[in-house]
Structure 1
Amino acid sequence: MSSVPQFRFRRVRLVAEPPVHRPAVPTARAIVDCGVYVDGRRLPGRFTPAAAMAEVRSRGTGFVWLGLFEPDAHQMGEIAEIFDLHALAVEDAVHGRQRPKLERYDDTLVTVMRTVAYVEHDMHSVSEIVETGDIMVFTGPDFVVAVRHGAHSALADVRHRLEQDPARMALGPGAVLHAITDRIVDTYIVVAQAVEYDVESVEEELFTPRSRLPIESIYQLKREIVELRRAVSPLALPLQALTRPESPLSMEIRRYLRDVADHHAGVSERINDLDESLTALVGAAVAKIAIQQNADMRRISAVLAILAVPTMIAGIYGMNFDHMPELHQRWGYPAVLITMAVLCSGLVVAFRRVKWL
């Protein structure tokens, strides 16, 4: 009777590793600038977000403009407590990469906009052309919190320009929202102009005889234009909502935003036209490649036909039969070479006439 091997099973006790507690990065690291504005002018001194908000509420007038750059969850949590921001909007501000939209939480407007930047590149290489980021703007009765993602979306010049115009700054947080929106739409126009120049350069080189523009570069430009359109076009609905009479913004700010909406509509149409033009260029590039391949195949076929003549003659006279014409003649070898040369030359002339060579 054979013995059956016995298997023993041991219970493995799984012990969860304790979470790694990393020290929290101070909120000040994410703050780009924090200013208090009363009657359109910035108060002197440096303020923390909590001190700035306390100053405004103690005065009963003015507003706080806070700029943040890529805050983490801990940093954004502290800001949310100070300005009473909704948790859902705070979560979007931490992760970024949101679709352009407009949401309202009680008295706070949350506007999400995508930012774009043009990257200098070589048309004969596949590289990134359009760089994208995003800005989320929290607009309340007495504060503006702008959260940026992307190194190219700086707002320092926007703040400086507004500080030079106290009359507009006195319009309140809505003026800041308009200035940021106007800056972003102006960037859309600049990037669209640069991409349009690239499309024109591709079109000119594509239709130049014997050009060697790689089709991968055209596909890369097509992909970047699609990304640009996805960043720009969705902003139309938030701009329309901001300019409606039921918007909490003042009538003067809505007038400014209507101008921004007109500019945005123009650049959106421009990008759509570029997309359609590049789609046509892709088709033209594919057709050009097909024509080049057909021309190459004709050349190869012509060369093979020319080489087939000496190959056939050499194959016949290489069969080593005793009774073959002119095999034992002294002039037979030169005669065969001359015949090969004449036939091949005739084929070359014939193929050049039909433009196969």
Structure 2
Amino acid sequence: MKITRVEFLANKEPIHLAEPWRPAWKEPDGGYTTSFNLSLYKVYTDQGIIGYGPNLGGDPELLRGLNPFHIGQFWHNYMGGRRAGNSGKRAAGLEIALWDIIGKAAQQPVSQLLGASRQKIPVYAATSRLLEISQHIEQVKSLIDLGFKAIKLRLHRPDPWSDVEVVEAVRNEVGDTIELLVDANQNNSSEVYKFWSRRTAQQVARELDLLNVYFLEEPLPRNDVEGLAEISASVDMFIAGGEHVPTVDDFKSHLLTGSYDILQPDITLAGNFGIIGLRNVSNVADFFGKLVIPHVTGNGNFFIMLAATLQAMATVDNCPMVEFPYDPPILIPETMQTLLAEPIWIDTDGAIEVPSQPGIGIEIDEGQLALEVSLAWEI
């Protein structure tokens, strides 16, 4: 089998959001987003099998004439990052498309081919905005009513103690009926926001620990491994991070120093992980007794990135849950799962059934949205 043709699929019209959106990590000076876009690779083979992957800007020429079953070589050549030149190609979307082809050729979901250890995975609802305390309380209550068992709140206010007040108010209102997760977003960039010092991060962590927070995400920049390790050693709650870590190997210092209790690689954000990378980092983390809760980006390509993430994490034992961006009326299936006839959604246990169609588990319906198709190359 070999790849014979690659097309790009993109939405013709913007996927409009119900209201302008400025997520917490862009506060206070970031712009507002009013719509999402999606862009996919559609990869053809000489045996009539078609695979899909999110277009991250990786060059589809990397697939020319490739046997999809040589995916290990593809990952090491373009995504592994062990040596200069073996990463930075933003090839994770191409890797996902290859796995989609392999699964379809075998008529099995990828997780089954790789040795699944479970059929469903808990998720947490990742909210995205800074709201008033009363709004946060009502939002969390509505998410609990929908069936979510774990919910993430965002911090990024000018006064970190105002952030703590929000978490305290929510915890006091809902009690210990759910797991509360907190994202400090201290690894993002801003020209205006005053990022936390080590001392502030330590103080906030201690207060959140008293509120029985499950994890505190990125209380310091990811490269401050010493500061993160100090915080991790001083509190009972988990310290998490790593969505911006570029390659599997770049988690080495965090593992050796104990900076993160929970690693949060993203299957596509850095462009170098893919399904193989998520499995690799999970296996290495397990040697160190660490957990992995993958980050999943909320945008127009969310549905395919989530499906691929679930396939990978169904094969490892140290993943207690997966991120599920959900923040009505913006981050919802209507804006992030536009090409699925049936959206991926939680069950009564707050978990998601691992998609079971051959390949990465989902059936993409191109008729769900007006798409623009363009040819990348063809043999």
Give the TM bin, normalised by the shorter chain: under 0.3
The structure with the greater share of residues assigned to strand is 2
The structure with the greater share of residues assigned to helix is 1
Give the TM-score, by structure 1 length. Answer: 0.25
Relative contact order (C-alpha < 8 Å, sep 6+): which is higher? 2
